[in-house]
């Protein structure tokens, strides 16, 4: 079973920041938080990952709380192309590099 909880759907206006929350209260010390997204009719696409520190790349920022029990994926200036299902996944290199997907958050970016 997935070890994360995400809201089933969210929306935001184009050009505004999209903040997608994820709860992973049972995360253990050697587990990473990974985010993937899946645009309609495509395979999932890696976005970002982190262990304890906040991370930023060209696609998004990842904010992990100090107790590591929750995180937020931030798309700073959402565009219509960011409409997708976003998956937050807790991932351990001890688990044979296996991703366990939940149902994700369906993000709709409105014009």
Which residues would be at the binding site for another protein (CB under 8 A)? Answer: 2, 34, 41-46, 49, 85, 87, 91, 93, 96-104
Which is closer to another protein, CB of 67 or CB of 96?
Answer: 96
Torsion of CA 76, 74, 102, 53, to 10 degrees: 140
**Nearest distance from C-beta of residue 104 to another protein, angstroms:** 6
**Nearest distance from C-beta of residue 33 to another protein, angstroms:** 12
Question: Closest Cα to residue 32, out of 44, 49, 54, 47?
Answer: 49
């Amino acid at each position: 079973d997935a070890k994360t909880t995400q809201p089933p759907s969210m929306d935001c206006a184009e050009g505004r920041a999209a903040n997608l929350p994820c709860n992973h209260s049972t995360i253990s010390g050697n587990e990473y938080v990974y985010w993937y997204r899946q645009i309609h009719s495509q395979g999932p696409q890696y976005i970002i990952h982190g262990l304890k520190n906040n991370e930023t790349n060209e696609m998004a920022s990842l904010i992990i709380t100090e107790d590591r029990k929750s995180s937020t994926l931030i798309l700073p200036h959402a565009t219509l192309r960011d409409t997708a299902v976003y998956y937050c996944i807790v991932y351990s290199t001890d688990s044979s590099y296996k991703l366990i997907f939940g149902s994700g958050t369906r993000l709709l970016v409105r014009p």
